[in-house]
Chain A
Amino acid sequence: MLSYILRRIASTLPVMAIVALFVFSLLYIAPGDPAVVIAGDQASPEDVERIRQSLGLDRPFLIQFGSWVWRILHGDLGTSIFTNLPVSTMIGQRLGPTLSLMMVTLLLTIVVAVPLGVLAAWKAGSLIDRAIMAFAVFGFSLPVFVVGYVLAYIFALELEWLPVQGYTPLAQGVWPWLQNLILPAIALGCVYIALIARITRATMLEVLQQDYIRTARAKGLGQGGILFVHALKNAAVPIVTVIGIGIALLIGGAVVTESVFAIPGLGRLTIDAILRRDYPVIQGIVLLFSFVYVLVNLMIDVVYTIVDPRIRY
């Protein structure tokens, strides 16, 4: 297993290199020029050209790319064109809020979605099942920003229970940290709760038709034992897969959620960087996201072997 994990980690390097080359090329050929944004609306073309030169943006593609790769190999993600801060510092500042949001959302998703899916499968065809599935369709259909605004209206403006916006670091206390994350996590989690509840239900239904479940029932095992010990464990592989994919998708969802709730996370940093053509920041974030995707895939593979010992690498 260890050698497998090491091999997988090693295999991420060429993947990330290809992603890096792709992103760098894409940004190079994309329209837009950070020097223009920096120079401001009243700048002359000469001012813009001076700024381009000072940023090295006038250099040939291969030299720019080579220089960037060289810095990456030395652990330097570069410096933001706009803030003059190291990209690693900027990502570090934003990582906490995004990780917190993702963690709370994921936890909420698993705690709510899996039991809902199991319940729906257990009560298949009943009113409860239909209600859960209707909720799932509803949750899946609503855009994150709509859910976000509705939640903010009810729980922040109307009831005044929670703040509308912002982020408080965990170091300042669990409740201050959590109260800024509850509404965004629910808004962001709705889609994933719906998705995972549906997958859990479908997988559980399939598993519940299996012979060994019939056998378990025949020997008098209780409903809880059948559902959670025998069925859920065997249904876990596709559920874990979807949860894993969900983690990756959360990164995209976080962009909108962070804007709606003014959370200073990586999603907002990404959008800001793209709009300003802050190339080093975009490249750093893309590399980070690529790494997260690869890591999540690796973790899913490892979890497979735990939930289903028949899977071996």
Chain B
Amino acid sequence: MDRRTVLKGLAGAGGLALSGLSAPAIAQGASARTLRFVPQANLANFDPIWGTQYVVRNAAALVWDTLYGVDSALQPQRQMVESEEVTDDGTTWSFKLRPGLKFHDGEPVLSKDVVASLTRWAARDPMGLMLKALQQELTAVDDRTFKWVLKQPFPKMLYALGKNNSPCAFIMPERIAQTDPFKQIGDYVGSGPMKFAKGEWVPGAKAVFEKFADYVPRQEKASWLAGGKQMLLDRVEWIVMPDPATAAAALQNGEIDWWENPIADLVPVLKKNKNISVDIGDPLGNVGSFRMNFLYPPFNDVRARRAVLMAMSQEDYMRALVGDDNSLWKPLPGFFTPDTPLYTEAGGEVLKGKRDLDAAKKLLAESGYSGQPVTCLVAQDQPITKAFGDVTADLLKKLGMNVDFVATDWGTVGSRRAQKTPPGQGGWNMFHTWHAGSDCINPAPYTAIRANGDKAWFGWPNSPGTEKEVTSWFEAKNLDEEKAAVTRLNKVALEDVVYAPTGFFLSYTAWRKNVSGITKGPLPFFWGVSKSA
């Protein structure tokens, strides 16, 4: 009997035992205005520009505000900004801040703070880097107005300032924002709806946020990072629980109120408990992926990459990950997030229909593959990559490939995948990962789709056709043009196999029923959330 089986059985038994019971005694003493939340991962650092992990961004969204915020329709809306103007030639943007904005230390939010913050952000963010390359000047005009002058138009400006993928353009006081973007800040003052209780922070265990009384929310209804961020809670405690069974038991026992990412194995147990609500957490989900190294045989030959695509079954990957729950996955014959405006299946035939192993073997042989080892990196400590890696190993063997299966930890995969040396000398042929669906809605935040060779993400895909269409998207003037560009992009990226999408998958979130106001989104939003005793 393994650990996972034991915890599943016991959590299941606990769920059955508790269903129908009222909140236990331990929960009764907790303040109704304190929400205890179990995040997806440990909040190990708290600089959202220096460290780009999703969990850092999620916590940072409580503490730091943004100039714009992307709403649930994926449109950037004004947040700290009251108004903006752009010149007819599209090169000069002037922004005016809302009056009355304050930082947690009582100081007003001024343009100089924004300029320093955007400067630091632009040094680390892919869109920021693009803006930086176009920048003529970024200056504070007066306390509430700042100006960004560019060498050429950048139509995606508002999206860049309001996007929700890491690093977000969070606004910090100038003294903090002047920190080298490659060094970590130690002062966590923001102007967001909650203050970070640094004194209570136990990294790896607990992080506490307290309501900022002077926060002035917008009057609009909240929608993701946009609109009025009304805090109905006085205190939010993030409690890190590395063991899913413990988190499940704590949720059932009323010791926590909201668990961001319950694992699929334990969801049936939670669903049986009448005190607990379970729903899809982020409708934008995730895009599974494995990447092949364009630098070395066999995958430097497009025929070998196409052979893998021709033989792979996304259903195998998804079943390995989510089991029998069909509501948790979709096939993804493309690269963009399903149910978003730019979603397309153009060129996706290769991933649809019956898998053709014989044709794939033939194509692989044509590529010149002659049995050399294929080094496949798999992080065993990440359930997603572990599941994907096992399926890939089986797939490659069926294709007649000689698999060098390197089962290791995420830290090692992360380090090794950066090696450009040949596979036999510390390099690799393929590795597995996944991308947040919110990063795959368009080419701007989508690092993994870029295919500019040496400058591209790990695997260093070189596909001039893909890059051409990325540029077309950036230059598109309306949604129709964007759609056309992305359709072409999807097709050429699949032809060149920039990477192999293993399917689209969702995950659940679970909370006690005395908590209300939880919305679906790419990150947990605490504004509008309340809790009764």
Q: Which residues of A contact B (CB under 8 A)?
A: 31-34, 36-45, 47-48, 50-51, 53-54, 80, 82-85, 90, 93-94, 143, 145-146, 149-150, 152-153, 156-158, 160, 163-166, 259-262, 264, 268-269, 271-272, 275-277
**Interface-located stretch among B75-83, B103-111, B149-157, B404-412:** B404-412
Contact B242 A262 (CB under 8 A): yes
Q: Cβ of B24 and Cβ of A269 under 8 Å apart?
A: no
B439 at the binding interface (Cβ < 8 Å): yes
Looking across the interface, which residue of chain A has its beta carbon closest to that of B249? A164
Q: Say yes or no for B25: interface residue by CB 8 A criterion.
A: yes
B73 within 8 A of A: no
B180, A157: Cβ atoms closer than 8 Å: no
Contact B166 A33 (CB under 8 A): no
A262: which of B6, B24, B184, B243 is its contact (CB, 8 Å)? B243
A149 touches B418 (CB 8 A): no
Contacts A160-B25, A164-B250 given; indicate if A36 touches B6 (C-beta within 8 A). Answer: no
**Binary contact readout B13-36 vs A (1 if CB under 8 angstroms, 0 otherwise):** 110011000001110000000000
> What's the nearest-Cβ distance from chain B to residue A94, in Å?
8
Q: Smallest distance from the beta carbon of B478 to chain A beta carbons, Å?
A: 28
Given contacts A32-B411, A262-B242, 14 further A-B contacts (CB under 8 A): A31-B416, A32-B412, A32-B414, A33-B414, A36-B411, A38-B51, A153-B17, A156-B249, A156-B253, A157-B13, A160-B26, A259-B243, A268-B242, A272-B44
Flag the segment in B202-210, B466-474, B496-504, B517-525 that touches A: B202-210
Min CB gap A143→B, angstroms: 8
- Shortest Cβ gap from A144 to chain B (Å): 11
Q: Is the CB of B243 within 8 A of A84?
A: no
**Alpha-carbon distance between A47 and B181 when the two chains are bound, in angstroms:** 10
Residue from B206, B246, B439 within 8 A of A164 (CB atoms): B246
Asked if B124 and A47 sit within 8 Å, CB to CB, the answer is yes
Q: Is the CB of A39 within 8 A of B250?
A: no
- Across-interface contacts of A145 in B (CB, < 8 A): 3, 6-7
Q: For residue A45, which residues in chain B have a CB less than 8 angstroms away from its CB?
A: 418, 458
**Which of A37, A54, A269 is close to B414, meaning CB atoms less than 8 Å apart?**
A37
Chain A contacts of B180 at CB under 8 A?
54
| Given A42-B439, A149-B10, residue A164 in contact with residue B253 (CB < 8 A) | yes
User: A47-B124, A276-B44 given as contacts; is B246 within 8 A of A165 (CB)?
Assistant: yes
The chain B residue sitting closest to A93, CB to CB, is B202
Contact residues in B for A38 (Cβ distance below 8 Å):
45, 50-51
Residue of B nearest to A34 (CB): B411
Contacts of B418 in A (CB 8 A): 33, 36, 45, 48
Q: Given A31-B412, A51-B182, A163-B253, verify A262-B51 contact (CB < 8 Å).
A: no
Q: Kindly state whether residue B137 has any CB partner on chain A within 8 Å.
A: no
Over the window 188-219 of chain B, the binary record of Cβ atoms lying under 8 Å from chain A Cβ atoms (1 yes, 0 no) is: 00000000000000111110000000000000
A90 to B26, CA, bound (A): 29
Tell me the smallest distance from the CB of A166 to a CB of chain B, in Å. 7
| Contact A54 B204, CB 8 Å, known A165-B250, A165-B255 | no
Cβ contact within 8 Å between B246 and A261: yes
Shortest distance in angstroms between A107's beta carbon and chain B's nearest beta carbon? 24
Known: A145-B3, A157-B17. A269 touches B249 (CB 8 A): no
* B45 adjacent to A84 (CB under 8 Å): yes
Bound: A48/B51 CA distance, A: 11
Contact indicator B10/A153 (Cβ below 8 Å): yes
A42 / chain B contacts, CB cutoff of 8 Å: 52, 126, 165-166, 439, 447-448, 457
Whether B17 pairs with A158 at a CB distance below 8 angstroms is yes
Once the chains are docked, how many angstroms separate the CA of A45 from the CA of B295? 15
The 7 closest A-B pairs by CB, nearest first: A264-B205, A40-B52, A32-B411, A33-B415, A157-B14, A36-B414, A83-B203
**CB of B381 within 8 Å of the partner chain:** yes
A-B contact pairs, 12 of them (CB 8 A): A36-B418, A42-B457, A44-B457, A53-B182, A80-B203, A90-B203, A149-B7, A158-B14, A160-B25, A164-B255, A165-B255, A262-B242
B239 at the interface (CB under 8 A from A): yes
Please indicate which of the listed interface residues A41, A53, A54, A160 has the most CB atoms of chain B within 10 Å of its own CB.
A41
Q: Can you name the residue of chain B whose Cβ is closest to the Cβ of A35?
A: B415
Q: Are B18 and A82 in contact (CB under 8 A)?
A: no
B206: nearest residue on chain A (CB-CB)?
A264
Q: How far is the CB of A76 from chain B (nearest CB, A)?
A: 16
Instruction: List residues of chain A with CB within 8 A of the CB of B205.
Output: 93-94, 262, 264, 268
A85 to chain B minimum Cβ distance, whole angstroms, is: 7
Which residue of B is nearest A167, CB measured? B205
Of residues 212 through 269 on chain B, the ones whose CB sits less than 8 Å from some CB of chain A are 239-243, 245-247, 249-250, 252-253, 255
Q: Is the beta-carbon distance between B250 and A269 smaller than 8 angstroms?
A: no
Q: Could you tell me the distance in whole angstroms from the C-beta of B281 to the nearest C-beta in chain A? A: 19
In the complex the two chains form, what is the Cα distance from A93 to B205 in whole Å?
A: 10
For residue B186, CB closer than 8 A to chain A, the reply is yes
> With A152-B10, A260-B243, A264-B206 known to touch, is A43 a contact of B17 (CB < 8 Å)?
no
> Do A275 and B203 contact each other (CB < 8 Å), given the known contacts A152-B10, A262-B250, A268-B242?
no
Query: Given A37-B411, A268-B204 in contact, is the A163-B255 Cβ separation under 8 Å?
Result: yes
- Provide the residues of chain A in CB contact with B381, threshold 8 Å: 275
Indicate whether A149 sits within 8 Å of B245 (C-beta atoms), given known contacts A157-B252, A157-B253, A262-B239: yes
Partner of A84, one of B53, B166, B184, B412: B184
B410: which of A143, A146, A275 is its contact (CB, 8 Å)?
Answer: A275
Are B45 and A32 touching (Cβ within 8 A)? no
A32-B409, A40-B51, A166-B255 known; A153-B415 Cβ under 8 A: no
Scoring A80, A153, A261, A268 by chain B CB atoms within 10 A of each residue's CB, the highest score goes to: A153
CB pair A157 B455 closer than 8 Å: no
Within 8 A of A (CB), among B330-385: 381
**How far in angstroms is the closest Cβ of chain B from A267?**
11
CA A83 to CA B243, docked complex, whole Å: 22
Q: Find the B residue at minimum CB distance from A53.
A: B182
Q: A150: shortest Cβ distance to chain B, in Å?
A: 7
- Check A31 against B124 for contact (C-beta < 8 Å): no
Interface centre among A31, A259, A268 (most CB of B within 10 A): A31
**CA A41 to CA B381, docked complex, whole Å:** 15
CB neighbours of B250 from chain A (8 A): 164-165, 262
B25 and A54 within 8 A (CB):
no
